[in-house]
Structure formats: C-alpha cells, structure tokens
Amino acid sequence: MPYRIDELAEKLGATFEGDGSITIAGAAEPQAAGADDLALAMSPTYAAHLAEGQAKAAVVWPGADWQALGLKAAVFAPRGRLAMAGLTALLDPGPGMEAGIHPSAIIDPTAEVADGVAIGPFSIIGARVRVAAGVQIGAQVSVGPDSVLGADTTVHDGVRIGRRVRIGARVIIQPNAVLGADGLSFVTASPAYVEVSRQTLGLGEVTVPEDATWHRIHSLGGVEIADDVEIGACTTIDSGTIRATRIGRGTKLDNLIHIAHNVVVGEDCLFAAQVGIAGSSVVGDRVVAGGKVGISDNITIGNDVVLGGASVILSSVPTGRVMLGYPATKMDVQLESYKALRRLPRVLKKLAGGKAAD
Amino acid sequence: MPYRIDELAEKLGATFEGDGSITIAGAAEPQAAGADDLALAMSPTYAAHLAEGQAKAAVVWPGADWQALGLKAAVFAPRGRLAMAGLTALLDPGPGMEAGIHPSAIIDPTAEVADGVAIGPFSIIGARVRVAAGVQIGAQVSVGPDSVLGADTTVHDGVRIGRRVRIGARVIIQPNAVLGADGLSFVTASPAYVEVSRQTLGLGEVTVPEDATWHRIHSLGGVEIADDVEIGACTTIDSGTIRATRIGRGTKLDNLIHIAHNVVVGEDCLFAAQVGIAGSSVVGDRVVAGGKVGISDNITIGNDVVLGGASVILSSVPTGRVMLGYPATKMDVQLESYKALRRLPRVLKKLAGGKAAD
Amino acid sequence: MPYRIDELAEKLGATFEGDGSITIAGAAEPQAAGADDLALAMSPTYAAHLAEGQAKAAVVWPGADWQALGLKAAVFAPRGRLAMAGLTALLDPGPGMEAGIHPSAIIDPTAEVADGVAIGPFSIIGARVRVAAGVQIGAQVSVGPDSVLGADTTVHDGVRIGRRVRIGARVIIQPNAVLGADGLSFVTASPAYVEVSRQTLGLGEVTVPEDATWHRIHSLGGVEIADDVEIGACTTIDSGTIRATRIGRGTKLDNLIHIAHNVVVGEDCLFAAQVGIAGSSVVGDRVVAGGKVGISDNITIGNDVVLGGASVILSSVPTGRVMLGYPATKMDVQLESYKALRRLPRVLKKLAGGKAAD
C-alpha cells in the first residue's frame, strides 16, 4: 500500500511541504529508514538521526526546518502520536483473516451467523450464539452458548468466550484472552478466620472453623462488553454472579489484566498491563491506570482518576484524583512521604546522637 | 429450572414465610428483578431497591419485615453469601458440555478413558493418560503423557495439562490455565552476580562471569492437584524439578496466578487473582491471600495466615498471622507505620524549623 | 534411560567414588528415593534424610563422608545446582512430540517447512512462514504470516505467534504464551488529563477533553527473539510499533510476564514470573529481576542490574546496581529506610511525649 506524500497528508488531515509526489511504502525510525520509508522524526532528538538513514520524506514537528534536515518533503504533525495513529492505521495490512467460515470450524445449528463473517480453522460457535456482520474470528476460538458478537468485532486466535457474554461492535480481543470464566466467589458455612481478622486486624485469637470448606457461589451473570473496547492478550474478565460484569464503551485493556466478577468499568478508560480489579468494584469514565495497579473489592473509583504505575487502591477515590503508592494516596502526598522517608535514617541517627549528648 | 419458594427453601435448608407456591425462574438484584425472579435482598441496603423491581419473593435477612417490603414471600438467610452459594448452584445450568467424545478429539490408543466421559472438539489426550468417570473436558484442551484426571473433574476450553500431572476428583480448571509447564530454574557455571550481590547487598563490585549462560534445570516432577481444587483462567502451575508441585485438597486459585516449581500449597486455601509464589515455598492450610500477593522462594507460610492484598512476603510467616505491606509485616504494625509516615513530612518540617529557631 | 554411576559421572564432568557399576533409573529427594534412584543430597541438610529412603547412590558435596551416610557410591558436585542441570537434562525424556506433520495441521502453501519438522494436531502455519530444521511445534499452535522459527526451536501447545515474529534457534516457548499481539498504544486528539496531570502532579484542575476517544496506534513492527531464549507459559510479548520488540540471546522469561511494544531486552537476562516492562524501555545484558518486578516506560536499565522481588522501577538504573522497593532505590538505602520506618511510630510517640512534657 504505497502512498504519495500529498495523498498521505490529506488522509492524515495534515499539511506538507516539498515534493508531494514522493511515494512511501512504509514508515521507520530515522536511522533505519530506507529510501521509500517515511521517517518518524517528530522531535529534534529523533530528527538528529535522519542522516544515518535514507529517508527522503519524514513526519516532523511544526516549524521544523525540513530542508536543513536533508529532506525532499515533510509532513507536519502538531501532535506526533496522533499522526502515528493515523499513519499506522493506513499502513496496517490488517489481521489477514480469510473471509468465510473455515470448513473445520464447528457452528452450532442454533447459532445465527451473518453473511460474510470470517471464522477461522478449528473455531467453535456454541448454541444460540449471534454473530453480526463484519465479525472476524481467528483460529481455535471458542464461543459459549447464548453469547453475542457485535458488528465488525475482531476476535484473535485462542480467545475463550464463555456463556452469556454480550460483546458490542468494533471490539478487538487479543489472543488467548478469556471472557466469562467463573468468578472467585466462595464462602465458608461459618465465618472464616479471614472475616474475623478484618475486625481484629489480626490481633485476636486464631479461629479455625470446624468445616473449612469453601462453598462456591456460581457465576450466572455473564459479561457485557460495550462498543469499541479492546482487550489484551491473556486478559481475563470473569462472569458476574447474578448480573453481568461490564466494560464501558471505548475502554482499552492491556495484557494480563484481571477484571473480577461484578466489576463495572466506565467509558474511555485506559488500563496498562497486569492491572487487577477485585470483585464488585466500580470504576468511572476516563480512568487511566498504569501497569500493575491493584484495586480492592467493593470500592468506587470516580471519573477522570489517574492511578500511577503499581498503585494499590484500598479505598474509594473521588473524581479527578491523581493517586500513587501502596496504599495509594494523592500523588503529591505520596511523593512528600517518600522524600521524608529517604531522609529519615539520617534524622533518626541525629536524634539519637542528640539524646546521647544530653 | 423454575422452583417453588417452599421447595427452594427446603433445598437451601432455609426457612420461608408467605406464599410458598410462588414460582421463581431466576435470581436478580432487587432493582433489576422481574416478576419471576427471586430478589437478593440480604441487607436493608439492598432491600431498599425492591420497589424499583417487580419481585414478589426475595431472600432477606432474619427478622426482616418482608411484608412491609411489599413481598408476597420471603426466604430467610442468616448468612447471605452462603445462601447465594446454594441458590446459584441450583440455578446454574452447568458448563453444558455434550456427553461423549467428539469425533474430532484425538485420544491416544494407550489412554484409558472411562465410559460416559465428555471430551470436546479438537481436544487431545496423550499417551497413558487416565480419565476417570464423570470427567468433562471442553474444546481445544491438551493433556500430556502419563497425566491423570480424577472423577467428576471439569476442564474448560484451552487448558494445557503437561506431562505427569495428577489431578484429583471434582477439580475445576478454568479456560487457558496451564499445568505442568517447565519451571524457571537456571544456573550459571560459576556464581552469577545475583548470587554474589545477595551477600553484599549490592555494595560489592560488579562481577561479570566469563560465561553468563543460564543452564536449564529440567522439570521432571510434574504436578499434583488434590480433590476439590479450583484453578482460575490463565493461571500457571509449573512442574516440580524432581518431585511434584502440589496443591492441597479444597484450595481455590483465582485467575492469572503463578505457582512455581516445587511449591507446596496446603488445603482449603483461597488465593485471589495475580498471586505469585516463587520456587520451593511451602504454604499451610486455610491460608487466604488477597490479589497480587507475592511470596518469595524457599520460605514457609504457616496455617491460617491471612495476607492482605498486594502484600509481598520476603520471609517465613508463623501460623495465624495477619500480614500486610511490602515488605509485609503484621498488619497492625504496618498500619501504624503508614500513619507515622503520613505525619512524617510535617514532623520533619517542624524539627527543621525548631533547629532554625535555635 | 538407566545410567551406570561411572557413566553418569563422566557425562556430568564430575568425579565419583564407590561402586561405579550401580545403575540408576531416576533421581529423587533422599527421603523419597527408591533403590534405583540417585538421591540428591548436595548438602548435609538433605543428606540427613538419606536413611529414610533406599538410595544406594547419591550426589553429594565435595568432601562428604559418603560411606558414613550409608551409600555404596557417590557423585561429587562442587556446584549442586549445576549438577542438577546436567543430571535433569540426562533424565528428561523430552516433550515427546511426534515427528512429522499431523494430518490435521493446516500449512499455508506459501510456508517453507524444513524436512523432519514436528507439527502437532490442529496447528496452523500461516502465509510465507519459514520453519527451520529440527523445530518441534505442539498441538493447537498458530503462527501468523511472515513469521520465522529458527532451528531446533520448541513451541508448546496453544502458543500464539502473530505476524512478523522472527524467532531464533533453540528457543523454547511454553504453553499459551502470546508473541506479537498488538501493543497498548493509544492517543486522544487533544491532551488527555493523564498527560496534563504529569506536569501538575494532580494539583491542577481536572480537564475533560471534548473528545475522549482513544485512537489506536497500530503495531506494525513485530517481535524478534534471539537464539536460546525461553519464554514462560501465558507470557505476552507485544509487537513493536514501527520496529520490532526485541529479546536478546540467552534470556529466560518465566510465566505471566508482560513485555510491551518496542521494549528491548538484552542477553542472558533472567526474569521471574509476573514481571512487567512498559513500552519502549531498554534493559541491558545479564539483568536479573525477581517476581512481579515492574519497569516503567521509556527508561533504561543498565547491564548486570539486579532487581529484587516486586521492585517497581520508575526511573533509569545504572550498570550493576542492586535495587529494591517501590519506588525502587539501591537495596541498602531501601533496607535502611525500612528499618527507620519500623522505628518511626515509637520515635514520634516519644517526640510527642517530650512536647507534652514541655
């Protein structure tokens, strides 16, 4: 899919200068760019490497002196990563799934599959499943009874979709993700020590119940994934108990994330890898969580909250707050505590010395 | 599976009041309940929403004035979540795996498969595997040579069971879990810097071994899973080196958990998602770990220990202790330290001010 | 595969004493050893259990009085775990994949597969894929277009290899790992609150962009895995944006690890389970990371760095440093801070008491 620079600029909604007839076939970092690559030089730091490569054209920052950089043409990107979004979308050949249902796929006779849907080898579509137009399902996927896949949704290889999982339109699910597994929901007949110790903070006596058997609370509620959600590789979203576990429109989840039963996540959230949200917690809209963030069960995170990488959230967080740490506090408070903690050993030494001097 | 209220109460071992002939077909939160749903109103907070739904019958707390709540019948649950366990078990239609061996499944001729076992499409049963009566294996599962599945065990889609994995009865394994992969066990020919630095706490010189190659210690011991264990989606339990890695009877593991080679976990433990246990550690009975807990290698956790969410356990923990933090300490000590740390910046400022005033 | 003791010692490059004609068929811990097992008694602690088992021969430490331990033969291991590497390699029957391409596997006609390669049931090899000699691919594996598998590489069941993933020689990939999924790379049209709050540390006003849509930056760069790498179960390595995400020669990754887009990991590194490395970070050679370590995006970790279990690395780390904590600091500094923090509540109480006394 080669593009002329003038054509590319138009598609990106960007301006260009220089020879618009130059044709590019791909994109590359400046030092690695071949003669038919568009170099990505959105800042002077990157542009410094242009001479090491062979690019004739580059994406540069507004105001860049592209001729001095040795270029024959330049596309201007006021917001570099946004230009990257447009550019990589143009260059992406797509997942390359073949149209039609592979003869090895097993489709339950009660399933309703729209015309033209792609279903890959060895995939399995269960009873009463509905698959809308434009859906692409890879290889070795299984979709359980009564689940729904909305229009233009893409399901990559090895994904497991359980019972009663309702997925919206234009959703993308990366390989080996699991939606609709049973939640970890168990109860002992009489109070377990973990329940008792919450009250006593572990200062009471250890109590061992006569019968320590964990009784299973079954997961009947399924999962609901709204439109335009993306779900990462090996991410797991468990079925709700009675009502569905829910992910809101436009939310993007990275790899190896755990969303427990009954959790409700809002719209346009962005969660990095290995985030975990415990049972029944509610997360607002536009919440951004760094990698490895943990959110405790049965709490509420407001809209527009930002959770720094590896933060552990043990209680509810109001709208707009920026949090960090374990346990997480407001970021500025946390940073102040860190600084104080680093000084502490010296201060204590001094205090002890002062005392000794008394 | 509709139930009459009187019949349901009997099955749950609970009492009821009102019209026992009312029939319910499902369960729902009070506000979402239809006319044939049993509302879950185990506390006044939930019961307050009954008027928003259409339930005629509900599960309520002992002593609740069910008539004042507008109900025609009430089931009394002294322990709400225990009632949920019984109720959801009754309402669960089950994983819906078809009986019999799917014609696309590949069963090694030396495998012994009991009559009536369910084995789903594209699943593979290896050499000398034994599959007991009542086992249900989903789609696209693989079971390696010399493994054993006990009676009534359920293995969901995409699960990988390696060589020499012995699984007990009534075990449930969620999708895409991996049992019996090779452990991370490597050694360099001469001591690596990581070994040296343990002694020096990183204060010695950096030593680079002439040959930094990591030599693999192979995993020959397999895995043993006792009866009534549950294993979450994408959870990994590695093979032991010489003897098996072991999970004790009745223990429940959530999603994305890592159990390293040679670990021994006791009975009736409950681990939330993303817990990780490093090589050769031993965990007692009835240990409860919150999400993201990490347990270091070669340590011992006693019986009835409670590990708060995201705790990192760097040394052995005696019986019955309630732990929190990184590094984890007794919970009350940790909470005291947190409080002191929050006060510290002000205290240091005051101390500095006092000094300045000198 | 039974071995005579003299033959075994020779293969391990070790010395032995006693009856070299004794034959062993396996290895075991001293207390569990049968009469034809080689007992692993590399330290007096282990050797103390020899009497509980039936071993006639054992691996022992240099200088051990093997006759007093009741043995008939002893192999001497100056470095016990290195002996384990050699010994377990000898005893490992291997993954047991059958040679040849299973008739159910689907090989794209444009793929080049060397003679004698093993490809298991229901596996799929995509367009233009190259599979070198000696490769073993398990069951239910999928390999995407334009990917490459080097000589003698082993790919276990359920692994997902995406587009343009170039894998070297002798690589081992454990079950259900995912290579080459799309990275979590998204951008809003105008700055999101998370960008603004980095500057203000969350102390400014909450800004909600008019359009909160996350625009996808597509992943076109693929993945490069060098020779002799091992990748754990359910580990995910995302595709780079423009250039490849890279793992260096000899590096070993445990289970449930996340390597984000554009990350570069050096040679001979060792990462324990649940490590996560965020986008575009660069890690040097021989870096060792304990379980659950998190590394922030766009930072650099030098050669020979050691990262203690659960450390969270928020900024770049120079060569040879030993780090611990959240946020991580030099290990000795962290340990001093911990100690000071534990003393702090008492110190504050005393200070407050002193004041009250004023």
Q: How far apart are CA A264 and CA A249, in angstroms?
A: 12
Shortest Cα–Cα distance, B278 to chain A (Å)? 18
Judged by a CB distance cut-off of 8 A, whether residue A258 touches chain B is yes
pLDDT at C354: 62
Of chain A residues 313-352, which have a CB less than 8 A from chain B? 314, 326-327, 329, 333, 336-337, 339-341, 343-344, 347
The mean predicted confidence, pLDDT, of chain A is 95
Q: Do B176 and C285 touch (CB under 8 A)?
A: no
For residue A350, give how far its alpha carbon lies from the nearest alpha carbon of chain B (Å): 11
Which among B193, B215, B236 has the least Cβ separation from residue C286? B193
What is the pLDDT at residue A354? 62
Q: How confident is the model at residue B112 (pLDDT cuts 50, 70, 90)?
A: very high
Whether the Cβ atoms of residue C305 and residue C282 lie closer than 8 Å to each other: no
Cα A15 to Cα A6, A50, A75, A78, A154: the distances in Å are: 8, 20, 6, 10, 33
- In this complex, the residue of C184, C201, C206 whose CB is nearest that of residue A304 is C206
Residue with tokens 């959110």: A295
Mind telling me how many Å the CA of B220 is from chain C's nearest CA?
7
Beta partners for residue B57, in sequence order? B38, B73
- Quickly tell me which residue has 């979402």 as its tokens: B32
The whole-angstrom separation of Cα C265 and Cα C298 is 13
The residue of chain A with its CA nearest to that of B86 is A217
Q: How many CB atoms lie within 10 A of CB C271?
A: 28
How many Cα atoms within 13 Å fall on the side-chain side of residue A46? 18
Q: Virtual CA dihedral for B102, B108, B111, B112, nearest 10 degrees?
A: 30
Question: In terms of CA atoms, which chain C residue is nearest residue A249?
Answer: C213
A82-103 confidence digits (pLDDT tens): 999 999 999 998 887 888 999 9
Q: What residues contact residue A151 under an 8 Å CB cut-off, 6+ apart?
A: A132, A133, A134, A135, A169, A170
Q: Is the dihedral of CA C96, C97, C98, C104 positive or negative?
A: positive
Tokens found for residue B159: 């699960």
Q: Return the DSSP state at A238.
A: E
Q: Give per-residue pLDDT as tens, B120-175.
A: 999 999 999 999 999 999 999 999 999 999 999 999 999 999 999 999 999 999 99
Q: How many other CB atoms are there within 10 angstroms of residue C107's CB atom? A: 18
Across the interface, whether the CB atoms of A255 and C236 are under 8 A apart is answered yes
Higher pLDDT pick, B356 / C112: C112
**C218 and A91 in contact by Cβ < 8 A?**
yes
Against chain C, the chains showing at least 3 CB pairs within 8 Å are: A, B
How many whole angstroms from its chain centre is CA C164? Answer: 22
- Asked if C333's CB is within 8 angstroms of A255's CB, the reply is no
pLDDT at C32: 95
On whether any CB of chain B is under 8 Å from the CB of C176, the answer is yes
Q: Quick check: C98 and C123 in contact, CB under 8 A?
A: no
Pick the residue of B40, B43, B234, B251 with the most A CBs within 10 A to test the interface with A by mutation: B234
pLDDT of A355 reads 55
Q: List the one residue out of A235, A302, A245, A322 whose CA is nearest residue A273.
A: A235
Any A CB within 8 A of C144 CB: yes
pLDDT tens, A43-58?
999 999 999 999 999 9
- From chain B, pick out residues whose CB is under 8 angstroms from the CB of C157: 124, 142, 160
Angle at B169 between CA A262 and CA B234, to 5 degrees: 40
Q: How many CB atoms lie within 10 A of CB B314?
A: 18
Q: Residues C7-45, buried b or exposed e (16+ Cβ, 10 A)? A: bbbeebebebbbebebebeebbbbbbbeebbbbbbbeee
- Where in the sequence numbering do the catalytic residues of C fall? 261
**Residue of B172, B292, B304 with shortest CB distance to A294:** B292
Q: What is the pLDDT of residue A356?
A: 43
N- to C-terminal Cα separation, chain A = 81
Helix/strand/coil for B200: helix
Task: Name the residue among C284, C304, C282 with its Cα closest to residue C295.
Answer: C282
Verify whether the Cβ–Cβ distance A288 to C212 is below 8 Å: no
Report the residue from B84, B95, B310 with minimal CB separation from A217. Answer: B84
Using CA atoms, how far apart are residues B267 and B158, in angstroms rounded to an integer?
26
Mean pLDDT of A309-320: 97
Any residues with CB less than 8 A from the CB of A47 and at least 6 apart, and which? Answer: A30, A41, A58, A60, A64, A69
Nearest C-alpha in A relative to C219: A88
Nearest-Cα distance to chain A for C71, in Å, is 44
Phi, psi angle pair for B246, to nearest 5°: -130, 135
Q: Would you call the peptide bond into C93 cis, given omega within 30 degrees of 0 as the criterion?
A: no
| pLDDT on residue B53 | 97
In order of their start, the domains of chain B are 3-91 (3.40.1390.10), 100-331 (2.160.10.10)
Which residues touch A26 (CB under 8 Å, ≥6 apart)?
A34, A36, A37, A38, A91, C220
Nearest Cα residue to B15 out of B68, B73, B91, B89: B73
Burial class (CB in 10 A: 0-12, 13-18, 19+), B213: middle
Based on the number of CB atoms within 10 Å of its own CB, is A60 exposed (0-12), middle (13-18) or buried (19 or more)? Answer: buried
CA A128 to CA B271: how far, in whole Å? 35
- What is the residue-wise DSSP string for B165-192? EEE-TT-EE-TT-EEEEPP--EE-SS--
Contact residues on chain B for A219, CB-CB shorter than 8 A: 88
- Distance, CA of A175 to CA of C177 (rounded, Å): 9
- Can you give the three-state secondary structure of chain C, one letter per residue? CCEEHHHHHHHHCCEEEECCCCEECEEECHHHCCCCEEEEECCHHHHCCHHHCCCCEEEECCCCCCCCCCCCEEEECCCHHHHHHHHHHHHCCCCCCCCCECCCCEECCCCEECCCCEECCCCEECCCCEECCCCEECCCCEECCCCEECCCCEECCCCEECCCEEECCCCEECCCCEEEECCCCEECCCCCHHHHHHHHCCCCCCCCCCCCCCEECCCCCEEEECCCCEECCCCEEECECCCCEEECCCCEECCCCEECCCCEECCCCEECCCCEECCCCEECCCCEECCCCEECCCCEECCCCEECCCCEECCCECCCCEEEECCEEEHHHHHHHHHHHHHHHHHHHHHHHHHHHC
Are C304 and B140 in contact (CB < 8 Å)?
no
Which chain A residues are within 8 Å of C241, Cβ to Cβ?
84, 88
Torsion on CA atoms B90, B91, B95, B97, rounded to nearest 10: 80
A249 — contact with chain C (CB < 8 Å)? no
Beta bridge partners of C266: none
Contacts of C336 in chain A (CB under 8 A): 345
- The 3-state secondary structure of B23-43 reads EECEEECHHHCCCCEEEEECC
Residues C337, A332: C-beta atoms closer than 8 Å: no
Cα separation, A88 vs A12, in Å, equals 10
B230 touches chain A (CB under 8 A): yes
Give me the pLDDT at residue B332, please: 93
- Just list the catalytic residues of B: 261
Q: How far apart are CA A70 and CA A50, in angstroms?
A: 8
Q: How many CB atoms lie within 10 A of CB C204?
A: 13
Judged by a CB distance cut-off of 8 A, whether residue C268 touches chain B is yes
Beta-carbon pairs below 8 A across chains A and C: 217
Residues in B 99-128 with any Cβ partner in A closer than 8 A: 104, 120-122
- B175 contacts A160? CB cut-off 8 A: yes
- Residue tagged 């002193």 (tokens): C354
The closest alpha carbon to B254, from B291, B228, B223, B305, belongs to B291
Across the interface, which of B82, B92, B230 has its CB nearest the CB of A189?
B82
A197 touches chain B (CB under 8 A): yes
Say if the Cβ atoms of B278 and C272 lie within 8 Å: yes
CA neighbor of A15 nearest in space, from A78, A97, A71: A78
Question: Cα torsion at C337, C340, C345, C350 (round to 10°)?
Answer: -140
Between CA B334 and CA B325 the distance in angstroms is: 7
Cβ–Cβ under 8 Å, residues C143 and C149 = yes
Answer whether C43's CB lies under 8 Å from C32's CB.
no
- The set of chains that have 3 or more CB pairs under 8 A with B is A, C
Beta carbons of B342 and A327 less than 8 Å apart: no
* Neighbour tally for B358: CB within 10 Å: 4
Q: State the CB neighbour count (10 A cutoff) for residue C152.
A: 17
C304 touches chain B (CB under 8 A): yes
Quote the minimal CA–CA distance from B186 to chain C in Å. 8
* Residue located via tokens 């552990």: A312
* DSSP bridge pairs for C231: C173, C253
Average pLDDT score over residue span B207-230: 95
- Report how far residue B38's alpha carbon sits from residue B41's, in angstroms, rounded to the nearest whole number: 9
Q: What's the mean pLDDT in B325-343?
A: 94
Residue B356: pLDDT above 70? no
pLDDT at A87: 95
Q: Do residues B5 and B18 touch, judged by C-beta distance below 8 A?
A: yes
Q: Does B186 touch chain C (CB under 8 A)?
A: yes
Extract the residue ranges of chain C whose pLDDT is less than 50.
356-358
Chain C environment of B345 (Cβ under 8 Å): none
Both structure tokens of A13: 């909604």
- Report the alpha-carbon distance of residue A97 to residue C80 in Å, rounded: 51
What's the confidence (pLDDT) of residue B10? 95
Residue B202 has pLDDT above 90, yes or no: no
Chain B residues closer than 8 Å to A197 by CB:
306, 322, 331
Q: What is the pLDDT of residues B28-81, one digit of tens each?
A: 999 999 999 999 999 999 999 999 999 999 999 999 999 999 999 999 998 989
Distance CA C344, CA A341 (A): 10
Q: Looking at beta carbons, which residues of chain B come within 8 Å of A344?
A: 344, 348
Q: Please tell me the distance in Å from B78's CA to the nearest CA on chain C.
A: 40
Using CA atoms, how far residue C93 sits from A191, A341, C1, C40, C97, in Å, is 48, 53, 8, 19, 11
